[in-house]
Chains A and B, each alone.
Chain A
Amino acid sequence: MTPPAPPTERPNVAPGRLLATLAGAGAVAGLLIVFVFGWTQPTIQAYKARMLQEAVYEVLEAPDHYDTLYAYAGALHDSPPPGVGPRDKGLEIVYHGYRTDGTSIGYAIPAGEPGFQDVIRLIFGYDPETGTILGMKVLESKETPGLGDKIEKDQDFVSQFQGAGSPLKGMKARDVTGTDPHEVAMITGATISSRAVIRIINNALERLQPAFQSSVAERSP
């Protein structure tokens, strides 16, 4: 590397020119991004939708078909309740899966809360009639690679949710008795992430419990 040349006297540049340069560069940058956004967004959205659909099938153990339901203020609706926007905080979407003979398997519930790094979004299956979790799948997480991301990659951890009783109890691996269906062994080295998963599921169920109860009551008069 040669040493930088000694500073030479530069003519003063008009402020307008500086402004114009930056504005021009900004406009071009904006246009480029809008163009690429328009080009990539359909693919990204389609991928997310497909992932969600696959996740619903996975956590409900391959339902024959499923309905999309809207939970709002302690009740389940077939369509978004009037006057409630799609971004309303109280509105949650759940998926109700059925077997081939038309009997209910349970609900797939997407939920998200902060984990160790960022919001963890997951989906889990729940059968309100028996109060058991059917399965859990992490949709989005930025947990530490190699540690926190075991909440989605460690099959031993993920498979525990299948058939676990609600509410879940997070236990240290050595304290697990193996007889209590509510127990979930947390991952050593990923305690915060494991606890977050358990908390997300418990909180979501607590929120949605009234809606499920009213819906079960409706179906079995």
Chain B
Amino acid sequence: MKQTTPQADFLRGVWRENPVLVQMLGLCPALAVTNTVANSIAMGVATFFVLTGSSLLVSTFKRFVPHEVRISTYILVIATFVTIADMGLEAIVPTVHKALGAFVALIVVNCMILGRQEAFASKNPVGRSLLDAFGSGIGFMIAMLMMGSVREILGNGTFLGMSVFGSSFEPWVIFALPPGGFLTLGFLLLTLSWVQRKRALKAAIREWPEGVAQRRTA
């Protein structure tokens, strides 16, 4: 892995390699619990906590874990943090815990977390692993928030429980339902890739004529 600056470690997960929007990891919670903004935030925070804690532990003890049992050890570490997050949420914010239901426990199978352990935390120093976890965790939260905002505004006519359109708005119930999750994610990815293509085109035009010629031949 090539050497990168701390900013790059952090920013990579936030945007360029956003776990949900670019790497397509952790889609299960991104589809399942993003029907309201409050749930999205709580899920994002819980995942952030689990990811950071796991990365810290995995990175600290990476020298003592034999290659053969590394995955089982990661799962064990992740499961421990998920259990802690589950009990912590229930004690601190019981209403949110109730709303998330089984999905807190399902953070354990969020492949985005295991992916960061295997791809980064197990090979890099503690500080960089933490930065990477912060970045990916925040990136996950941003994606959850985007999904949650669209789905709550369209599916319920509210944002964080506050009415957006007034009483005459007829909510598109489908956006609060599972199909709405898929639709939202699809349109979100479509928009993002459209923006990215436009950007690439602009960059190419700036480098005229070499850039455009290169794109033609490519």
- With A44-B90, A145-B35 known to touch, is A29 a contact of B79 (CB < 8 Å)? yes
Q: How far is the CA of A151 from the CA of B84 in the complex (A)?
A: 30
B52 CB → nearest A CB, Å: 15
Q: B177 contacts which chain A residues (CB < 8 A)?
A: 144, 146-147
Within 8 A of B (CB), among A91-118: 117-118
The total of chain B residues at the interface (CB under 8 A) is: 36
The prevalent SS among residues of A at the interface is: helix
The contact of A25 among B73, B87, B90, B101, by CB within 8 Å, is B73
Pairwise interchain contact B155-A146, C-beta atoms closer than 8 A:
yes
Q: Pick the most buried of B36, B68, B91: most chain A CB atoms within 10 A of its CB.
A: B91
Within 8 A of A (CB), among B112-132: 119
Pairwise interchain contact A33-B99, C-beta atoms closer than 8 A:
no
- Chain B's closest residue to A17 (CB) is B66
Q: A117 contacts which chain B residues (CB < 8 A)?
A: 101
Q: How far is the CA of A145 from the CA of B92 in the complex (A)?
A: 21
Within 8 A of B (CB), among A28-56: 28-29, 32-33, 36-37, 39-41, 43-44, 47, 51
Pairwise interchain contact B102-A142, C-beta atoms closer than 8 A:
yes
A217 contacts B by Cβ under 8 Å = no
- Chain A's closest residue to B176 (CB) is A146
The contact of B69 among A22, A29, A47, A51, by CB within 8 Å, is A22
Q: How far is the CA of A41 from the CA of B66 in the complex (A)?
A: 35
A interface bracket (residues with beta carbon within 8 Å of B): 20 to 34
A4 CB → nearest B CB, Å: 9
Pairwise interchain contact B94-A29, C-beta atoms closer than 8 A:
no
Q: How far is the CA of A10 from the CA of B77 in the complex (A)?
A: 24
Pairwise interchain contact A29-B87, C-beta atoms closer than 8 A:
no
B218 contacts A by Cβ under 8 Å = no
Pairwise interchain contact A21-B83, C-beta atoms closer than 8 A:
no
Q: A29 contacts which chain B residues (CB < 8 A)?
A: 76-77, 79-80
Q: A18 contacts which chain B residues (CB < 8 A)?
A: 66, 68-69
Pairwise interchain contact A21-B87, C-beta atoms closer than 8 A:
no
- With A33-B84, A140-B98 known to touch, is A25 a contact of B76 (CB < 8 Å)? yes
Q: How far is the CA of A37 from the CA of B101 in the complex (A)?
A: 18
Q: A36 contacts which chain B residues (CB < 8 A)?
A: 83-84, 87-88
The contact of B76 among A26, A44, A147, A189, by CB within 8 Å, is A26
- Chain B's closest residue to A139 (CB) is B98
- Chain B's closest residue to A19 (CB) is B69
- Chain B's closest residue to A35 (CB) is B84
Within 8 A of B (CB), among A118-160: 118, 140, 142, 144-147
Within 8 A of A (CB), among B6-43: 33, 35-36, 39
Q: How far is the CA of A47 from the CA of B98 in the complex (A)?
A: 12
Pairwise interchain contact B69-A21, C-beta atoms closer than 8 A:
yes
A2 contacts B by Cβ under 8 Å = yes
B162 contacts A by Cβ under 8 Å = no
Q: A21 contacts which chain B residues (CB < 8 A)?
A: 64-66, 69, 73
B172 CB → nearest A CB, Å: 11
A105 CB → nearest B CB, Å: 28
Q: B79 contacts which chain A residues (CB < 8 A)?
A: 29
Pairwise interchain contact B80-A2, C-beta atoms closer than 8 A:
no
User: Could you list 19 A-B pairs, sorted by A, with CB under 8 Å?
Assistant: A18-B68, A21-B69, A25-B73, A25-B77, A26-B76, A29-B76, A29-B79, A32-B80, A37-B87, A40-B90, A43-B92, A44-B91, A44-B94, A117-B101, A142-B102, A144-B177, A145-B35, A145-B99, A147-B177
A residues contacting B by CB (< 8 A) are 1-2, 10, 13, 17-18, 21-22, 25-26, 28-29, 32-33, 36-37, 39-41, 43-44, 47, 51, 117-118, 140, 142, 144-147, 189
